[in-house]
Structures are given as C-alpha cells and as structure tokens.
Amino acid sequence: MLSNAGTSSILLLLLLGLWALLGEADGAEATAAAAGRHVVQLHRQRVPVKGQSDAVSYKNVYFGSIYIGSPAKQEFSVVFDTGSGQTVVPSTMCKSATCRMHRRYSRKASPHAVDVDFDGTVVKPGTPRDQITVAFGTGEITGQFVSDRLCLTNEQTVAVDSNATPGLKTSSSPEGANPPPAEEHDCISLRTVMATEMSHDPFHAFSFDGVLGLGLDALTLAPEFSFFGQMVAQKKVASSSFGVFLADGEDEQSEICFGGYLPDRLQSDLLWAPVALPELGYWQVQIKRVRIGNKILDYCDDGQCRAVVDTGTSLLAVPHDFSDELQDTLAASLRDPPVNMQNGIDCLHAQGDELHFDIEGLTVSLTAGDYARPAVMLNDAEGQEDTAGEMEAPHDLDNRLATEAKCQPTVMPIDMAAPIGPKLFIWGEPVLRRYYTVYDVAAQRIGFGLAVHTKSTPTVIEKAPSTRRPLLAV
C-alpha cells in the first residue's frame, strides 16, 4: 500500500501529465501565433443541389468564425472567399426572414465603429450614405459601410485608457471614431459591408452568416476593405501569404492559416504558379493544356484558358461551351465503387481517368475520387420525376424518394464575359481538397502542394510537361 506522500506524488505526476496533454492540444495554434501566424478552424456544411438532370448532389461549404465590434465582440460565421474582395455580414437594419435566420451586426453595440462611405468619409447621422450591391453566385446582397474592429479570436478586449481624450482620432481610425481598445495580435481596423438586404436564394440554405473576401486589391472598393491586406499593413502577420487546407473526412480538421502556411499539411514540396492578370483581382492561373488520361483536349490551345482558385466554390466550374465535352469524357471512364449498405456510395473511391491541367510550373491533377460526387435521382411522392431546379434547403427534400445513387463528375457550366471570361474555369473544392494551396500577396503567386490526409497515399506532384516535347496522341 502506498503512503500518503507516495499517493500525493503520483497525483502530482498525473496532473502534470494532464497539463502537458492539454498544452499539446493548443500547441500548434500557440506556435503558429508566436510565429506571426493565425489559424482559423473551418466547419463544413453539406447543402443539397438539384441539377438539370433530375439528380440531387451535395455541395460542401466551409466557414469559420470572426468577431466584429468593440468593446463587445459580435461573432459571425463566414466563408473565407478568395473569389471576392469585401467582408459582408448581415445587419440589424435588415428585417427580412433571410437576414433574421442569421446573426446580425448591431452598429449600436459597437461604440467604436464609424459609419463611412466607401472612400472612408465619415457619414453624419441623418445624411445620405453610399451603398453597394454585391452578387454572389445566384443571389446578391445590398449594404452600407462601417469601419470597425475585426478579430479572429474572442480574446478579452483590453480596456481603453481612461486618460485618453474622447473622440481622439488615431492614425488607424477614421475621423470621429472613439479611441480603439489596446491592440490585440489578431485584430485589425477594417471597413466592412453591413448587409441591409439579402436575397432568399441562396442564403436561406446556408448556416454561415456572411463572407470574408480574400481576393487581391483590385477586387476591393479600396485597400481599407481588404482583410488580409490590412493584416499585412497593420503588421499582424509575419508573412504576406496564407494557406488553405480542406479536410478529406470527418476525422480531419479544415483550416486557413494567415501569415504563412503549415508545412505539416504538405506531403510534397510547394510548386508555384504566377497569378495571371492580377489587375483583375482574382487568384487565377493560366491553363496551357487540358488532358484526360492519355487524351489531350484542344480547347485551351489558343492560350486563352485561365482558372480562378476559389475557396468559396464547391464545384469544378467549366466554360459552358466546353462543359458537355468534359463531362461526357470524364463520365465515360467513371466507375462506381462497391456500395456500402450502411454508408451508401463513397465516391472518394470511384475509379476513372485522371483530369490534368498543365499550368506554369506544374500540373494540377484530379483523380476520379476528387472530381466525382454522389448524385441521387429523385421522384416525388406521387412517383413523378422531379422538376429541375437550382438549390433546395434540406427540408425541401423530405417528400422526395431516391430511386438511384451513382457517382457523377462535379462539372458546373458557367458563362463569363471578357475580360475575366469567356474561357474561365473555377477550381473549387475538388482541387482545394487534393492540394494544400498557398496565396502569396507580395509575390502574386499561388503555391500548390499535395495535401496530407489521413488516408493519403504518398505520391509526388507532377511538374508541367514542356510544351516542346511531343504531344500525347488524341
């Protein structure tokens, strides 16, 4: 039998061990923060989408939390979107049902905020003010502008110096602002859009509240609207780059890292491609060639193809005049995996030809498991085939009957006018799940490295073939 002293020693060791384990849980985040990196965990929502072939598939949306306002921090869930330029959250001024189903920003609850026009001019009470309408896919929002404090964590706000002069303007505050609280390592002053109107479609189907734009400066109304640009300008990050990791299953955690990237997320070296036409503001690369298996498709031979790497898109979007050819060619080789009676069909294990995009410096390749997703054919309760539509909320599918489930390529046709189109591809989740992507603002380049997943098979990223070597046979 142990003595009391011996028991106390063992208890002390156990407590120290528990403390160490708790420390390890926060170790990666603490190390990142100490190195000038800020890691935000992302959550996934599956949203059913009903297509033109009477099939319902599911799109994934990834979002994380931000905090706006001071001294009280108001929490919002947002999509960190490389395809847009502003931060948009619903406002208490928006009374529609769509807005009320989300958390809404209260201007009155943030005394340090300042109402501004898009150029930063302070708006006096009762005077007209600028507003903006922003399109997002099938919907749009209308909003007004405010300059406020945005943070990545909900750390306790440090009290304002009681000796400060009320209404004193600082170098980082618009004229007329109250003095901001003491700085925190992950907080910035930012102009944001308060949505006063939100369209029903698609926002009613989403759990997240708003959007945080991560496009280049050309997509923003002014540099003061650029979240990451202001993180760099206000010296909150150690590097002018950020990295995105999307999980491959429920046992992994999606995340975005600001101020650099996390090497542990890579199973291959990063290869870099320059941003094409950065003056347009999109994170896009030029596509030199498209290949499916050993077949070369000639659609991009004229050098006009580009791809936007878009963290706000869940599908692989393809120019409309090329989508049928690509869809049919991919589908011809696609084979479903065995159906699991408990979990249904898992298209991550689908078989088929690989899809290759040759860009400057490397080849971005997708396996069948990357580009295929399960699609369910539906009938209504009376046995009639369902009519085609764009998107349905989960409760809208309660009265539908599934007649067939199979894997289909996730190709979405789009039409984009010049200068961004017409030969524009959008690389969403299928590319972002396979590759850890890094966005370097200063060098205007995008890094691609094969992501480490729990079920990853070690492989090597392919460098782009030289255009001088013989082409593969069609």
Q: Any idea what the CATH number is for the domain that residue 274 is in?
A: 2.40.70.10
- Side chain identity at residue 269, one-letter code: D
Kindly give the interhelix angle for 27-34 and 4-25, rounded to the nearest 10 degrees.
Answer: 60
Rounded distance, CA 150 to CA 64, Å? 14
Q: Decide if 251 is inside a domain.
A: no
Q: Decide if 221 is inside a domain.
A: yes
Q: Decide if 18 is inside a domain.
A: no
Q: What is the pLDDT of residue 458?
A: 59
Q: Decide if 319 is inside a domain.
A: yes
What pLDDT digit, counting tens, does each position of 319-349 carry?
Answer: 999 999 999 999 999 999 988 766 678 898 9
Rounded distance, CA 223 to CA 231, Å? 11
Residue 124, both tokens: 């006096």
Residue 437, both tokens: 């992507």
Rounded distance, CA 364 to CA 424, Å? 16
Asked if residue 274 and residue 231 are part of one domain, the reply reads no
Rounded distance, CA 34 to CA 28, Å? 10
Q: Decide if 160 is inside a domain.
A: yes
Asked if residue 225 and residue 367 are part of one domain, the reply reads no
Q: Is residue 143 classed as helix, strand or coil in its secondary structure?
A: strand
Asked if residue 277 and residue 175 are part of one domain, the reply reads no
Burial class (CB in 10 A: 0-12, 13-18, 19+), 459: exposed
pTM of this prediction?
Answer: 0.81
Going by C-beta distance under 8 Å and a sequence separation of 6 or more, which residues neighbour residue 376?
Answer: 55, 56, 57, 402, 404, 405
Going by C-beta distance under 8 Å and a sequence separation of 6 or more, which residues neighbour residue 110?
Answer: 68, 69, 70, 72, 74, 148, 149
| Full domain range(s) for residue 72 | 38-237
Rounded distance, CA 318 to CA 326, Å? 8
- Contact (Cβ atoms closer than 8 angstroms) between residue 396 and residue 285: no
Q: Would residue 260 be called left, alpha or beta, if left means φ above 0 and alpha means ψ between -120 and 50 degrees?
A: left
Residues of the chain with confidence (pLDDT) below 70: 1-35, 49-57, 156-183, 341-343, 377-404, 456-474
Asked if residue 231 and residue 369 are part of one domain, the reply reads no
Q: Which residue, 201, 221, 237, sits at the end of a domain?
A: 237
Residue 73, both tokens: 């921090």
Going by C-beta distance under 8 Å and a sequence separation of 6 or more, which residues neighbour residue 362?
Answer: 271, 273, 448, 461, 462, 463, 464
Asked if residue 212 and residue 114 are part of one domain, the reply reads yes
- Side chain identity at residue 300, one-letter code: C
Q: What angle do CA 346, 349, 354 make, to 5 degrees?
A: 130
Asked if residue 287 and residue 220 are part of one domain, the reply reads no
- Contact (Cβ atoms closer than 8 angstroms) between residue 392 and residue 202: no
Q: Decide if 124 is inside a domain.
A: yes
Q: Is residue 254 classed as helix, strand or coil in its secondary structure?
A: strand
- Contact (Cβ atoms closer than 8 angstroms) between residue 409 and residue 354: no
- Domains: count for the chain: 2
Residue 222, both tokens: 């002014």
Asked if residue 180 and residue 90 are part of one domain, the reply reads yes
Q: What angle do CA 362, 368, 373 make, to 5 degrees?
A: 120
Asked if residue 300 and residue 227 are part of one domain, the reply reads no
- Side chain identity at residue 368, one-letter code: A
Rounded distance, CA 432 to CA 443, Å? 21
Q: Decide if 215 is inside a domain.
A: yes
- Contact (Cβ atoms closer than 8 angstroms) between residue 256 and residue 39: yes
Q: What is the pLDDT of residue 55?
A: 58
Task: Name the phi and psi angles at 298, rounded to 5.
Answer: -90, 10
Asked if residue 180 and residue 304 are part of one domain, the reply reads no
Q: What is the pLDDT of residue 47?
A: 78
Rounded distance, CA 312 to CA 211, Å? 9
Asked if residue 293 and residue 182 are part of one domain, the reply reads no
Of 259, 266, 265, the closest CA to residue 236 belongs to 259
Asked if residue 328 and residue 212 are part of one domain, the reply reads no
- Contact (Cβ atoms closer than 8 angstroms) between residue 452 and residue 267: yes
Looking up tokens 């189109």, which residue turns up?
Answer: 421
Q: Decide if 12 is inside a domain.
A: no
- Side chain identity at residue 153, one-letter code: T
Asked if residue 274 and residue 212 are part of one domain, the reply reads no
